[in-house]
Structure formats: structure tokens, C-alpha cells
Structure 1
Amino acid sequence: MSDSLAQLIDTPLRPLRQEWLVPERVEQLRAARALTPDDYWAWVAGQLRWSRPWRTVRTGELPDARWFEGGLVNVADNCLDRWAEDPATADRPALLWEGEPGDSRTYSYAELTAESAALAAGLRDLGVRAGDVLAIYLPNLVEAFTAIHACNRIGAIYTVLFAGFGEAAVAARLVASRASVVLVADAVYRRGKPVPLLDTLRAARPPGVLATVVVDRTGSGVPLRDGEHGYRAVCDAGRGGTPCVPLDPNEPSFLIFTSGTESRPKGVVHSVGGFLLGTWANAHWQAGYEPGDVYWVAADVGWLTFPIQAVVGGLAGGMTIACYEGALDTPSCARFYEICEKHQVSKVLAAPTLLRMLRRFGDELAVAHPLPALKLITAQGEPFDVDTFDWASDTFGVPVVNAYGQTETGSTWSYPVYGAEPVKAGSAGTAVPGHTFDILDDDGAPVPDGVKGNLVLTSAFPTLARTVWHDHDRYLSSYFGRFPGRYATNDEAVRDADGHLWVLGRADDVINVAAHRISTMEIEAAVTGHPAVLEAAVVGIPDDTKGTVPVAFVTLRADAQVEQVRAELDRRVAAELGGYARLAAIYPTPVMPKTRTGKLMRRLLRDVLVHGHPTGDTSAMEDPTALDTVLNAVARE
């Protein structure tokens, strides 16, 4: 283990400031931790509305556990109807939406319920029935919320396609999901211009898609073709609405695809009741509804975090959700601050990359926009470096919570609970109630605290994905083949002496340098520890002598002396990790390719070095020009 990583793990706990403590949450968390996992999930189920009571909490073990047998429940009923029916909450804003051009809309719980119910009835008129698959090819629009809950309302299975996907990626997912209907916008505004989605869908649409519902995002009145229906016309046809269908909590709710077009798309299936319960609990502990809150999940609806925290978990908790369509640096670097000010945002969730971006924009911008309403920043999806953690905490003066989870787990399950627990910069806290984990060596034996190993979940929990769509054998082999009876995250991790979890990255990101195994995150920890480095990505590339060697891409402070920093990084990595981990090359670049959710696309960096061009799907990339910048950085050396 590197010196930098060891120092992080040895960092003392940081108690919450007195003004950040929420005593009732401390007591509630203490009571929840005293329960067995099954009793805890029974408590969670009791926070929600059931159409028919369940008989048993759980039957079976991993990977075949079933939950709340005998019960019937509906996700839309819990996220929308129960709030709309209560006079005390019917007029509460459910959604504060803002488009990149500056247009905005506000929907109360009553209004969002009515439009979603109308859409559900209209979809039924088009022939959509329970168990049918509907693809949602939309950016962050109000219609993404209404479409998801229209499907939830009638028991249709939805799959959200990232609005940045190109023709090949869309076609592959439509074929794999067997979608019969697609809901799409004519275009999405991104970085000041409309990006056509309907044209892409028309080119990608396989024969199995029988109908398309088109949202006129641009207001251009796009002419519709055979089999295409206007979103507003569909809603108008279903104006009377349709009731929520009571569903078995173990039935499929939606699919989400986890692989690119370079391999067979893998549609992970989440269940109706499991996802609802887990996301309610996730939003409750990680963000926590407080009267007057506005919760902004600054992510794309195509990243599962958005449905978890906003569309399902946030609304199930009665929160007011802020939703933004476009790029957070458009039309200016102040856009993030302006949205927070305009909508009085009190809690923000984002990838750590957003905070690194704000830090790069400068302290002057933060001083000009003090954000007095802000109470919490929570981050997930990428390793969270200490410098950025400290900057965010000091700059905004609010608790910063780092969380860990996966698409397959359906929620984040390890983090310091907001308002109740101390933090460690960079760690993912401890497992929240209802979850147990262990760290194993390659033979499946538990390792001591402070020792790296394979992160596994050891007990069943309802939010875990139930299968891979039409390929259950793939589900079993991918997640339970290596460590039977335990869910393999395929991540490496360390648990420290305080029980805090440190996730080191994908096990397949571990590189073998001259017979020494090392995680690329360990090298990144050493690189980002340099005060001149704002961001770093380390990848392994083939080497005739050593097998694999590490290479770093770095974004530096504007005043950094490049050659001096190069020399210092070379010495730093060798001193902390050993000469075998010495960086074979260091490429300074002002930007790196990222997804819209802020995740660094390390595979593209590796492709640039190994092949000179990307070899896989690039449609998820936020800014295509970033790849050109990286190619130029490599060419200059």
C-alpha cells in the first residue's frame, strides 16, 4: 500500500460541527443500527404505502432472496399519489426544472401526479401493458419524471437510454431490451445548441419498436412520421388518468445497461418493491428530508444515481427536487452557483468531478456566490481526493458526504449518514443499516483491517439487482461465480481500524508491473497529493519488459511549472510506491474525457496511448473536444 493511501486511512475521524448535528437523526440511526437486517427492512417497508400487506420480510438467501411475499405495492403511488392526495403536501413543489437556455417550470406533487397519470393512460391507449418494455431516450426533462412514473403506474418496464448515446448504442439497447415503445425528445440543449435525438432514434430504430412518443423540446413542431405520436397528444388522450396497478414487489421494474457497444449490452434488472424501499432509505439517510429543502441531484437521468436519489428515492421521501437539463459550465462558469441561488438549493449531490471543476474555476467565483441556503454536499461515482474534499468543506461551510454504491446494488450503501456521523476525507464511511460487507483475499478468506482485498456484500438486501435481462446465467457468473453466496462488487477495497471503507477501484484496474500488483488508484493518490495537480488519471499500458507500466494524465494549476512538476511527480511516486511503479510518462492536459455524470473515461485514455484513437463507444462522452485535447497532448510529447 502506498504511503499516500496509508496516510489517508490513518486520518482521524472528523466529528460533525455542533451546528451540523441533527439530534433526531442520531437517535433514529442508533435505533436502526440495533435492528437485524430483516427487521430493519421491515421498518423501511413501514414507511411506505402498500396496496396489500406482506406476509414475510424475506425468503431465501443470496442470490435468490425474495422480499415481502404476499404484499402488493406501486412505486408511482408512493412517489406521487400519496403526496398529491394529502392536502398538506399536494401543493408542495415536487420538481423545479430548468433548461439550459434558461426556461424553467415548476410542478407541484398534484400537477406531476396528474400529468404522469394522463401519460400512463395515453400509453395504455397505444397498447402498452404491464410487463412491456418502454425505452426513455431523454435528457433531464420533466417528461423523464412523468414517463418513469407512468411506467411505474401501469407496471410497464422502463429502460433509460443516456441522451448522449449515438445510433449504434441506442440500437444495441433497443434490441437487447426488446422495447416496443420509445419516448424521445426531438432534441436536447447541450452547450448552447440543440443536439438531435429523434433523428438518431429514427436511424437506430429496430423493427421491434412499434410506436414512438415525441416530446417537442425545442418547440419547433417537428413533423411526425408513421408510428410517431406527440407527447402532448398522448397525454391529452389520457387526460382522465388511470389508477396505480398493485404489483408484486419482486416483479421487474426497470432495466439499466452497464456495458458499452464494444461488448454485449448487459441489462441489469431491478425490482418494483426492492428498488422503492432501497431508494427511499438511500435518500433518507444520505440527504434526509427537512422542511423547505430543495435537493439538486446534479447528474444525468441516464446515471442510476438520478432515479435513485431524485425520481424515486427523493419523491418517495416527499422532497422538492431541482433538475437541470444542460452543461454546468454553460453559458458561463457561474451556472452552478446561479442555479443554486435561483432555486434556493439546500442539498446537492454530484460526482467529485463537479467539485474539482468548481475548484478550478477559482475561489473568487465562490466568494461572489456564497449560497447561504446550502446545507449539504454529497458526492459519489469517483474517488474523492482529500484536497478537493477540504476545499469544498471550507469553501461552502457545509458537511461533505462521500458515498459508495453500484448500478447493481441499486443504491449507495456505505457513507456517513447526514447529520448523524463523523467523516473521513476520501473514505466512503461505514455500511448503512440493512447492509453487511467483507473484504476477502483471492481465496475467499477475510483479510484483516488495513489490508487490501476483494469487496463483497455478505447478506441479502432488497435493492440488489435480481438478474440480467434474459440471461440469468450471466447474472450468476458475473456476481456470484467467484465467491458463492456473496455478491462480488469486483472492486478492491480496504477497511480501516475505525471500520471506514476505502474503495480503491475496479479489480480489473489493478495492473501488474514487473510481477508487482498495484491499483491505479494508489498511484493516483500519490499523484493528486502534489499541490499543483488538480486532477489525475492513471492507466496501464503494455510494455515489452515489465508487462505493464503506469502512465498519468494530469490537469495542473495555471501557475504550475510543467517540467518541475513532472520531475517532482516522478520522484514522489517512486518514493511512495517503489521504483517499480515509476510513471512511464506524464501528460499534462487541461481537460480529460468524462461522461456527463463526471466520471473519467480512463479506457479512452488507454486507447489513445495504445491505439492512437478510441476503439470503443464514445457516445457517453460529455465533451467530444476533450478527446482531441488529449490526443494533442500526447502528440506534443
Structure 2
Amino acid sequence: MTDSLNQLISASLLPLRKQCYSRERAEELLAARALHDEDPDKYWAWVAGQQRWIRPWTTLRSGGLTDFRYFEGGLINVADNCVDRWAEDATAADTAAIIWEGEPGDSRTVTYRELAAEVSSLAAGLLDLGVTKGDVVAIYMPNLVEAFTAIHACNRIGAIYTVLFSGFGADAVVSRLRASAAKAVVVADASYRRGKLVPLLDNLRTARRNLDHVAHTIVVDRTGRQVPLQRGEVSYAELVSAHPGGTPVVPLEPNDAAFLIFTSGTEATPKGVVHSVGGFLVGTWANAHWQVGREPGDVYWVAADVGWLTFPIQAVVGGLACGMTIACYEGALDTPTNERFYEFVERHGVTKVLAAPTVLRMLRKFGDELCARHPLPQLKLVTVQGEPLDADTFGWASEHLAGGVPIVNAYGQTETGSTWTYPVAGVDDLKAGSVGRPLPGHECVVVDDNGEPVPPGTKGNLLLTRPFPTLARTVWGNHDRYLSTYFGRFPGRYATNDEAVFDSDGHLWVLGRADDVINVAAHRISTMEIEAVVTAHDQVTEAAVIGVPDDTKGTVPIAFVTLMAGADADAVRADLIRLTGEELGGYARLARVYPTATLPKTRTGKIMRRLLRDVLVTGRPEGDTSAMEDPAALSAVVTAIAGSAAAR
């Protein structure tokens, strides 16, 4: 193992086994792993057996990684499993399905019985507008109850939904509506974000001027302003109230397309990844079942945006399929004050939280004193995903948050449709920064650039070696693009395009995107390895390391950092340059360090390193910026670069 990887992995806490939820849970996981060891498809048969089928499947799986199909011969409906089955259960019907709070402080609680009625009525309304099985419906709104109902109304009738980030402007909306050929859009008139109104309906109206195929717009009156509707627009509330009888669920073939989600990147044409009806339901049920583990009295808060696939996985589909109570929050987690996260957990009795690692870094930055004022005795689990979790943030949260709550670090991708590797809390050992071992039903390998497996302690390319139900089936309208993107480099195996390493205990460490590996004077190193040293500094709360061109070394590492309040920026800068050289080697020594007030992130909390590289190299962002949470962050970076140049 290289010295830098030793540095990264040795920064983890000693393996720590948390108290089991129950002996039964541990035994169930051991049984699931035994099924996998016998035959992974037997495990998926068990998972499928936990769902309600309209007609049982006859063939569990056919085909390989590029052309697989699951549960052939069967018929199923996602809304039936996520909503109806619980509404029909005398015990569950009046249990809260969704506890919602808006940024201004308004709130709403919806039971499974109420959710089923609204979903069915909206589905009937969509049918009345001419939306049928196979039509695409775009959902352009923030975290609202209506996001749940719109998704499941589509599921109920077999329409294909696509969720657009509520932070998208008109241009980003146009490109995705055009690429999906959406027939209808469900939109909120506006959303609240950091105390301001985001004009979603106005953005959509601008977008529709260039689109003829969008026949209907269903408008949710989020703000109560009763905005006058224009031609082609209908009121969500009126559409629902006009169809009190609802409509029956449509039996669907499990491999039918359920939804498409657009990945952001540098491509001119958005890439719509397609997930299936039965596969996504079965896999996300398993995801929520193992990752958070439903217990009596649980309130599960998925602190993410509905436009991030994590939200449908863990909340809208996986969470409801498990019969959980889902907490849902509309706005920014630091609005109107830094206490909002803690207050939300207290107010709604949240017992388990899923978030991006940036949320924990934010809480750490807010300070130990604020954390101590909110002990959160009911909080039992925090699980994070979306980007690597650094050891220092893991250690802080494990020690301070809720008096020592287990922190589960999970890994997955938009294309995998689920997080497929993580330690199961209460059963598996936890290591800071590790994403545990692959869950039953999943198999992977780490290989060199020639496709040959590498031994433990050696980093390489992370590949998936067999299909599983939630894996994406295609790219919307362009299957060749799907094949070339994910199977072109390593034929017959799915390329995650991430680098990773297995340690000697069999734990997987994902080191970041393969294209974030930099080559400094013929030495290859992952930017995450350098970030692990940078974030270990007690005055650094967040960091992003990128590689930029250099005439002598080819590429040199540069760090952007946010600091604790009161930190001496010049002293920290000198420390980081010295430490990276001492601990990783002279070739990994930071060439420059830019302290900045904030970093550009997506609404999911992922740092947009590509934009940092663009601004530093060309002076402006070159690629897609539509997923950026706060445009002011980019201005802060430009100011930091200019200030550093002036100082030199």
C-alpha cells in the first residue's frame, strides 16, 4: 500500500461495532449474505418476495450486464407497494407517511390513507388530461408533499416521470424538457430558498416558449399567491378535487421504464438515465431496509433535494415501500439561523437522518457549543452519501452529534439507482471514510488500467461485475451512449469511473472520480488523498483539491479551503503546504491554497470541483452550472483567487 493510502486509511477510527438494533436484524442480514453466497439471484428473489405482486414473476433474471431483465412474467405497480398496501392496512393507514415543513415554518402531516387518496385523484386527473402509460411527466418543484404525490400518480398509471432540480433556470429546464419530450409538467408557482422566492412557474413559462410538445402544466400554489393561470395551465388543487373517485393502479411489466433522471456534467446534451419499474422498487426497498432499518416509532429525514436521486431512493420509493414515516424539509438547512437542522430534528422527533457529508461539515463549522445545546436524545442513526466522507468529520459527528450516534457512510451513483456498499449499522464494523462491504446481491472488483484485479491496498478502477435490479437500463433515446459510457473501457463490466481500494479487512474505500486523479511529475495521486491531509487540519472545515496545468510538472495540486471562524488564513496556508509535502511527499505538496468563504456545490451538497478548475484555468466556468446551489459561491471563489494574486 502506498504511503498516501496508508495516510488516508490510518486516519480512520478503529473499527467500532455499535449495538445491534436487534438479534433478529443481525440474523436476517447473515441469512441474506448466505443467500448471496449461494446465488445472488436467490437473494433478489427473497427481496422481491417482500413486495406485493399483481401477478407473480416466472423468470427471475435473464441476460448479462448490458441487457439484463428481472422478474419477467410478473406484473407490479410501484404506487400500489408504496402507498396503497399501507393505506389498506388497518394498523398503518392512519400512520403519518409524510411530515413536511416549509422554510417559512408552515407544516403539513399526511397519513398513508390521505396520501393514497390524493395520489389516486391526481392520477385520474392526469389521465383526464390525456397523459397515459409511457408518456413523460416532468416534476419541477422543491421538497413538497406534492412531489411525492406527483411521482406516485405517474407510477400509478405507468407514466414516466423525470424530476428537475428546483434550482434550475429556464435554459436548464428547456434542455431537459426537450431531451425527455415531456408531455406535461407539474410545477410549483415558486419555492422558498434562503428567505427568497425562486420563480419556478416563471422559469417554466419562459422555457415553454421554445417547446411545442409540453401540452399541459399542472400548477401547485405553494405560496398562496393564487397566480393567474395561462393557457395550457391547470390548478393542481382543482385537478385533484375534480376526481375524488381516483383511478385503479395499472399493472406494469417490471422492466418497463419508470423514470429518467438527468446527470449533470460537461456534455452539451443532458444524459437521461433510465430506471425500471420493478427493479427500482425492489432495489430501493432493500436499500432503505438495510441502510436505515425501520423500527417502531421511527421518523426518517432524508435531508436532500427531491431532484437528487437519493430522495426517490430513500424517501419517495424505498422509504415508503418500507412503510416508514418520512420527514421532508423544503429549504436551506441554515435558514433563518444555524439552528434550523437541530430544531427540525427536535420539532418532528426525527430518529434517523440521511444527508450529504457536507451537512455534517456544516454542523461541525457551526461549532460544538451549538451542538451541545441540542442533545437530540431520540436520534439513533445518521447515514451519509454523495461524496467521500473525511475521517475528521466522521470523528466529530461520532463524538458530538446526539451524544455519539452511529455514522454510516454509503456509496452509490445515479446510474446504480441505489447505494450498494456500506456497513449495516448495528451489525457491521464502522471505519471513518470506508464505505464498508458490498451489500448482498452486488459484486465488484478493483482493477488496474488493463482490467486485471489488483491486491488489497492497491488502488485501481472500481467495476461492477454482475447486474442487479436498480442498475440503469439505458440512456433515454441513445442506447449506444449508454454502452460506450459505462461498458466501453472494460467490456462486459460496468465502469463506475471511480477509483477505489480494498483494505486488508475487505472494506472498500472510494477515492473519487478517476478523472480527479492527477499526474504530478509522473506520480499519480488521487485528489481525495490530498484532501484527507488538508481536512485533518483543525482549522479547516471543508476542502476541495484540484489539479491544474504546470509548465514544469505537468500538473500541480491546488486547494480551496473554508476555515473555522477566527482562523489565521496565512498560517493555515503555510501549514497545509508544509503538511502535504511532509505526509504525502514533495510531489503532492500543494502549489497554492485559496481560503474562500464558501465553495460551489450542487443542491445535493457535492462540491463542484470542475467549476473550481475552470475558474482557475480559464477565468470562468466552461460547463454546465445549472445544478449549482448558490451562484454567489462562484463569486466568492473568484474573489479568493483575485485576493491571493494581489497578495503575491
TM over 0.5: yes
Separation (CA, whole Å) in 1 of partners of 2:136 and 2:266: 20
Listed as ranges, the matches of 1:341-360 within 5 Å are: 341-360=346-365
Indicate which of 472, 480, 484 corresponds to 2:487.
480
Return 5+ residue gaps in structure 1 as ranges: none
Matched position secondary structure for 1:492: strand
CA displacement 1:162-198 (0-9 Å, x = unmatched)? 0001111110000000101011111000011211000
Q: Which stretch of the first structure deviates more once superposed, 348-357 or 22-31?
A: 22-31
Counterpart pick for 1:166 among 169, 189, 193:
169
Question: Distance between the aligned counterparts of 1:232 and 1:557, measured in 2?
Answer: 47
The answer to whether residue 50 in structure 2 is matched with residue 43 in structure 1 is: no
Q: Is residue 582 of structure 1 aligned with residue 582 of structure 2?
A: no
Is contact 2:264–2:627 with CA below 8 Å preserved after alignment? no
State the Cα distance separating 1:61 from its structure 2 match: 1.3
Separation of aligned partners in 2, 1:443 and 1:528: 33
Q: Give TM-score scaled by structure 1 length.
A: 0.98
Q: Name 1:99's counterpart in structure 2.
A: 102
2:497 partner letter:
N
CA distance in 2, matches of 1:605, 1:494: 26
Give the partner amino acid of 2:630.
D
Distance 1:123 1:17 in 2: 47
Equivalent pair of 1:122/1:236 in contact (CA under 8 Å) = no
- Residue 499 of structure 2 corresponds to residue 496 of structure 1: no
Match of 2:231 among 215, 221, 226: 226
Q: Secondary structure at the match of 1:179?
A: coil
Contact residue 89 and residue 109 of structure 1 kept, 8 A? yes
Note if 1:71 corresponds to 2:78. Answer: no
Q: Which amino acid aligns with 1:243?
A: P
**Alignment map for 1:314-325 (pairs within 5 Å):** 314-325=319-330
Asked if 2 retains the 8 angstrom alpha-carbon contact of 1:277 and 1:462, the reply is yes
Report matched runs for 1:190-205 at 5 Å. Answer: 190-205=193-208
CA shift at 1:262, angstroms?
4.8
Q: Give me the whole-angstrom Cα distance separating, in 1, the residues matched to 2:217 and 2:554.
A: 50
Note if contact 2:391-2:532 (Cα within 8 Å) is conserved in structure 1. no
What per-residue deviation string (whole Å, max 9, x for no partner) do you get for residues 349-370 of structure 1? 0001000000111111111111
The Cα of 1:234 is off from its aligned counterpart by 1.1
Residue 13 of structure 1 deviates from its aligned partner by 4.7
- 1:162 & 1:113 partners in 2: Cα distance? 25
Q: Which residue of 1 aligns with 2:376?
A: 371
- Corresponding letter in the other structure for 1:627: L
Number of the residue aligned with 1:14:
15
User: Is 1:256 matched up with 2:257?
Assistant: no
- Partner of residue 335, structure 2: 330
The answer to whether the aligner puts 1:270 opposite 2:275 as a matched pair is yes
The CA distance in 1 between the partners of 2:566 and 2:261, in whole Å, is 43
Residue deviations 1:361-419 (CA, integer Å, cap 9, x gap): 11111111111110000000111111110111111221110000000000000000122
Please give the alpha-carbon distance, in whole angstroms, between the structure 2 residues aligned to 1:4 and 1:290.
Answer: 41
The answer for the alignment partner of 1:419 in structure 2 is 426
Q: Mean alpha-carbon deviation: is it higher for 9-18 or for 395-404?
A: 9-18
Q: Deviations over 1:269-308 (max 9, x none)?
A: 0000000000000000000100100000000000000000
- SS of the aligned residue for 1:34 comes to helix
Give the Å deviation of 1:560.
2.6
Contact map agreement 1:23 1:420 (CA 8 A) in 2: no
Q: Distance in 2 between matches of 1:392 and 1:80?
A: 34
Q: In structure 1, what is the Cα distance between the partners aligned to 2:80 and 2:344?
A: 30
How far does residue 12 in structure 1 lie from its aligned partner after superposition?
A: 6.5
Query: In structure 2, how many angstroms separate the alpha carbons of the residues matched to 1:261 and 1:167?
Result: 18
1:2–1:576: 8 Å Cα contact kept in structure 2? no
Distance between the aligned counterparts of 2:202 and 2:21, measured in 1? 51
Counterpart CA distance in 1 for 2:572 and 2:335 is: 31
Is 1:615 aligned to residue 603 of structure 2?
no
* Percentage identity across paired residues of the two chains: 72
User: What amino acid is the match of 1:78?
Assistant: N
Q: After TM superposition, where is structure 1 displaced by more than 4 Å over at least 4 residues in a row?
A: 10-13
Match of 2:580 in 1: 573
Asked if 1:291 corresponds to 2:296, the answer is yes
Q: Is the Cα contact below 8 Å between 2:13 and 2:432 reproduced in 1?
A: no
2:522 matches 1:515:
yes
- Counterpart CA distance in 2 for 1:617 and 1:266 is 12
Name the counterpart of 2:539: 532
Asked if structure 2 preserves the Cα contact closer than 8 Å seen for 1:172 and 1:261, the reply is no
Q: Which residue of 1 aligns with 2:560?
A: 553
**1:124 aligned onto 2:131:** no
The answer for the alignment partner of 2:317 in structure 1 is 312
Partner SS for 1:134: strand
Contact 1:134 1:180 in 2 (8 A): yes
Q: CA deviation at 1:574?
A: 1.4
Alpha-carbon distance between aligned partners in 2 of 1:589 and 1:23, rounded to the nearest angstrom: 48
Q: Quick check: 1:34 aligned with 2:39?
A: no
Give how far 1:618 is off.
Answer: 2.3
- Give me the CA root mean square deviation: 1.2
Q: TM-score under structure 2 normalisation?
A: 0.96
CA contact (8 A) 2:138 2:184 kept: yes
Which residue identity is paired with 2:194? Answer: R
Measure, in 2, the Cα distance between the counterparts of 1:441 and 1:287.
34
- Count of paired positions: 636
